[in-house]
Amino acid sequence: MNEIIMQAGALWTREIRRFFRQRSRVTGAVLQPLVFWLLLGAGLGASFRPSGMPAEVGYSQYFYPGVIVLVLLFTAIFATISTVEDRHAGFLQGVLAAPISRSTIVFGQALGGTTLALMQGLVFLILAPLAGIRLDFGAIVMTAVMMAVIAFALTSIGLIIAWRIESTQGFHAIMNLILIPIWMLSGAFFPIAGAPGWLQWTMRINPLSYAMGALRQALYLAAPGAAGAAIAPMGVSIVIAIAFAAGAFVLAARTARHAPAI
């Protein structure tokens, strides 16, 4: 057990160190979603009223938790993308020949990705007052916890893909086909309430919708009414979000166990 912690810790430390030594990654992962938020929030805010939300919640505010999840998503993708190259001709070769199980490797990677995503999500959280969201201590703690759960789930999904494919080009294609749509249909971009029936169903079977809903409710802990109509009660959403994260991790570990090293 001690050895597993030491092994996963080594991979975790490596992820964190690498990150801070690549300045473009630090800025890119926060700035890109920020630009998204400012431009889309301002542009759509004038002509688009999120249905099912209280009158005082404008689009910028509605979109804000969605952008937090986007920050987490981008960071998770960055953190997993190196896995593809590392496996064939890089750092992971040595890890794969070490007496460490594939599940432990994936756990260290997921933990590293989660930490990086969480740090950047917290940086983005500083902008909450700008979005018109009033945070108290409880809301901050709860939001951070939900961000960690979501980041762990998204990193794990990234790892499922990264351990399965052979090239980084493949990764981009799959990312656009799977990860971005999952995010778009999670209630991040538009609320479930106003969507047509078939789309509502898609959103209801998307586990990220519940994680998204829990995060939204966590942000508004200080002012519950402003969160709008939730997809499910907060407790249920949290349970589904945690199950989502755990399920994604188990699948990632399984994928890694069966992936060839070549």
Partner 1 sequence: MSASAAANPRVAAAASPAPTAIDAEGISFSYGERKALDEVSFTIVRGEIFGFLGPNGGGKTTLFKLLSTLVPLQSGRVSVLGHDLAGETIAVRRRLGVVFQHPSLDGKLTVNENLACHGHLFGIGGASLKDRIGAVIDRMGLGDRRNDLVETLSGGLRRRVELAKALLHQPELLILDEPSAGLDPAARREFSDHLVRLRDNDGVTVILTTHHMEEAQRCDRIGLLHQGRIAAIAPPAELKARVGGDIVVVYAGVPEILQRKIQQRFQVAGRIVDGAIRIERARGHELVRDLVEAFPDDIQSISFGKPTLEDVFVHLTGHRFFADAPASEE
If one asks whether residue 1 binds partner 1 (CB under 8 A), the answer comes out as no
Closest distance between partner 1 and the C-beta of residue 83, in Å?
13
CA 159 and chain centroid, separation: 13
Among 29, 44, 76, 95, contact with partner 1 (rule: CB under 8 A): 95
Among 91, 174, 184, 207, contact with partner 1 (rule: CB under 8 A): 91
Beta-carbon contacts of residue 246 (< 8 Å; ≥ 6 apart): none
If one asks whether residue 18 binds partner 1 (CB under 8 A), the answer comes out as yes
**Amino acid, res. 50:** P
> What is the rounded distance in angstroms from the CA atom of residue 128 to the CA atom of residue 135?
8
> What is the rounded distance in angstroms from the CA atom of residue 67 to the CA atom of residue 83?
25
Residue with structure tokens 């997993």? 80
Closest distance between partner 1 and the C-beta of residue 18, in Å?
5
If one asks whether residue 21 binds partner 1 (CB under 8 A), the answer comes out as yes
Using the rule CB under 8 A, give the single segment among 15-23, 124-132, 188-196, 240-248 that binds partner 1: 15-23
If one asks whether residue 88 binds partner 1 (CB under 8 A), the answer comes out as yes
Nearer Cβ to partner 1 (170/207): 170
Among 1, 46, 205, 262, contact with partner 1 (rule: CB under 8 A): 262
If one asks whether residue 100 binds partner 1 (CB under 8 A), the answer comes out as yes
Give the number of other Cβ atoms within 10 Å of residue 195's Cβ.
Answer: 16
If one asks whether residue 9 binds partner 1 (CB under 8 A), the answer comes out as yes
Of 138, 12, 125, the residue nearest 69 (C-alpha): 125
Closest distance between partner 1 and the C-beta of residue 256, in Å?
14
Instruction: Classify residue 82 by burial, with Cβ atoms within 10 Å: 0-12, 13-18, 19+.
Output: middle
Nearer Cβ to partner 1 (109/186): 109
Which tokens hold the place of 55? 């009158």
Among 1, 46, 55, 97, contact with partner 1 (rule: CB under 8 A): 97
Which tokens hold the place of 151? 């980041």
CA 65 and chain centroid, separation: 11
> What is the rounded distance in angstroms from the CA atom of residue 113 to the CA atom of residue 148?
10
Among 93, 103, 200, 202, contact with partner 1 (rule: CB under 8 A): 93
Nearer Cβ to partner 1 (13/169): 13
Give the number of other Cβ atoms within 10 Å of residue 148's Cβ.
Answer: 17
- Write out the residues near partner 1 by the rule CB under 8 A: 2-3, 6-7, 9-11, 13-14, 17-18, 21-22, 88-100, 260-262
